[in-house]
Amino acid sequence: MAELGWCAGFVIRTRENNLVFDPDSMHGLARDSSVFISHAHADHSAGFRSRLKKYSTIETREIFESIHGKVVVNFHDVKLHCPIRLGDAEITPLNAGHMLGSTQFLVTLPNTTILYTGDINCLDTLTTTRAERAECDTLVVEATYGEPSYIFPEREQTYAKIVSWALDQIKQGLAPTFQAYGAGKAQELVKLFNVYTKLDVITDQKIAGVNAVYSNNGLKMCSRTVAAEEPNNGNSVLIATRPYFLSDSRKYVKAVTTGWALKMSPKRAAAFPLSSHADYRQLLQFVKDSKAKTVYGFTGYTDVLASQIRRKLGIQSRPLPMLAQKTLHHFR
Ligand SMILES: [Zn+2]
């Protein structure tokens, strides 16, 4: 019998294994735990800092190392569709479509299968291909936008709006600046301006480091970093993790790109609903395609999504439970 639940991250305990997925701290985890990291975003990748045995794609490790300037030790790389065997469990990484290197993990135990999604996006983008579907008995799915009003517009439409907004600002002598996550979203924006415009794309150092990882993995990023005092030709777009200005005379106008933009009306910024996550409709379809008998949600609208899954799909569903205290003791 496997025990499932949340203890710093998603945990599967079997007779022979403690598998921990995306722990946000190492507190309470057994010393013989195996840590799986689905992607390099900070809320999923804290496990890289632990001394436990760690598994992720090489791309995920490289992005983490580029952002944090740290070398990960006790690391084993995984490849999509190549199962690894640990005792009574077989773990198969599948594409999650969320950012470069992002994976879901399909865990096959002697009597059951469990799919842990990490963060997923079910659409193709300029830098990622859609999350793979897999059938399983139990699905553990992210619920970030698991609320019926979060339905994103067509991505191409959002791409077009972002580009035309940036070109408009430049026409008016203003400097468009996008504030974005350093990994994933920033590279999608770089690619967008590379593909659809001839603008100079300028990024901060943090994004430049991640761009290099993308370029080395076949997703060429054309961008550069400039010193603040360097003259700027006025034909550029800035992409940065925090407010970033050059010493030219232009006025800087800010934009944000996030799924939350659907319900934002920021005063001094433009907001575009470009998300690296599945929206509500995609999540429901993903759950349906998994043919899971039980679905647990984590992160975001867990209660809402669980009740929608029960009502609309007739599948047993609830937020991922905490592991019982006695189990926690058992873990130490
Ligand atoms: Zn993420």
**Dist. CA 43 → ligand 1 center (Å):** 7
pLDDT band at 247 (very low <50, low <70, confident <90, very high): low
Residues 142, 15, single domain; the answer is: yes
Residues 309, 245, single domain; the answer is: no
Residues 160, 219, single domain; the answer is: yes
Residues 130, 41, single domain; the answer is: yes
Q: Does the predicted TM-score (pTM) go above 0.85?
A: yes
C-alpha 173/C-alpha 176 separation (Å) is: 10
What pLDDT, on a 0 to 100 scale, did the predictor assign at position 242? 84
**Dist. CA 172 → ligand 1 center (Å):** 35
pLDDT band at 245 (very low <50, low <70, confident <90, very high): low
Residues 61, 187, single domain; the answer is: no
Structural domain including 305 reads: 3-150+277-331
Residues 111, 138, single domain; the answer is: yes
Inform me whether the pLDDT recorded for 225 exceeds 80: yes
**Dist. CA 44 → ligand 1 center (Å):** 7
**Dist. CA 39 → ligand 1 center (Å):** 7
Residues 193, 233, single domain; the answer is: yes
What pLDDT, on a 0 to 100 scale, did the predictor assign at position 204? 92
Domain count, the chain: 2
For the segment 122-172, what is each residue's pLDDT rounded down to a tens digit? 999 999 999 999 999 999 999 999 999 999 999 999 999 999 999 999 999
**Dist. CA 67 → ligand 1 center (Å):** 14
What pLDDT, on a 0 to 100 scale, did the predictor assign at position 136? 98
pLDDT band at 327 (very low <50, low <70, confident <90, very high): very low
What pLDDT, on a 0 to 100 scale, did the predictor assign at position 228? 63
Residues 30, 55, single domain; the answer is: yes
What pLDDT, on a 0 to 100 scale, did the predictor assign at position 28? 77
What pLDDT, on a 0 to 100 scale, did the predictor assign at position 324? 66
**How much of the chain, in percent, has pLDDT values that exceed 90?**
84
**Dist. CA 142 → ligand 1 center (Å):** 10
Of 234, 252, 272, which residue constitutes the final position of a domain?
272
**Dist. CA 229 → ligand 1 center (Å):** 34
Residues 281, 255, single domain; the answer is: no
H/E/C letters for each residue in the chain?
CCEEEECCCEEEECCCCEEEECCCCCCCCCCCCEEECCCCCCCCCHHHHCCCEEEECHHHHHHHHHHHCCCCCCEEECCCCCCEEECCEEEEEEECCCCCCCEEEEEECCCCEEEECCCCCCCCCCCCCCCCCCCCCEEEEEECCCCCCCCCCCHHHHHHHHHHHHHHHHHCCEEEEEECCCCCHHHHHHHHHHHHCCCEEEECHHHHHHHHHHHHCCCCCCCECCCCCCCCCCCEEEEECCCCCCCCCCEEEEEEECHHHHHCCCCCEEEECCCCCCCHHHHHHHHHHHCCCEEEEEEECHHHHHHHHHHHHCCEEEECCECCHHHHHHHC
Work out the mean pLDDT of the chain and round it to a whole number: 93
Residues 199, 95, single domain; the answer is: no
For the segment 70-128, what is each residue's pLDDT rounded down to a tens digit? 899 999 999 999 999 999 999 999 999 999 999 999 999 999 999 999 999 999 999 99
Inform me whether the pLDDT recorded for 227 exceeds 80: no
pLDDT band at 266 (very low <50, low <70, confident <90, very high): confident
**Dist. CA 247 → ligand 1 center (Å):** 33
Residues 140, 8, single domain; the answer is: yes
Residues 109, 167, single domain; the answer is: no
What pLDDT, on a 0 to 100 scale, did the predictor assign at position 22? 98
Inform me whether the pLDDT recorded for 331 exceeds 60: no
Q: What is the CATH number of the domain that holds 190?
A: 3.40.50.12650
**How much of the chain, in percent, has pLDDT values that exceed 70?**
94
What pLDDT, on a 0 to 100 scale, did the predictor assign at position 155? 97
Q: What is the CATH number of the domain that holds 84?
A: 3.60.15.10
**Dist. CA 5 → ligand 1 center (Å):** 20
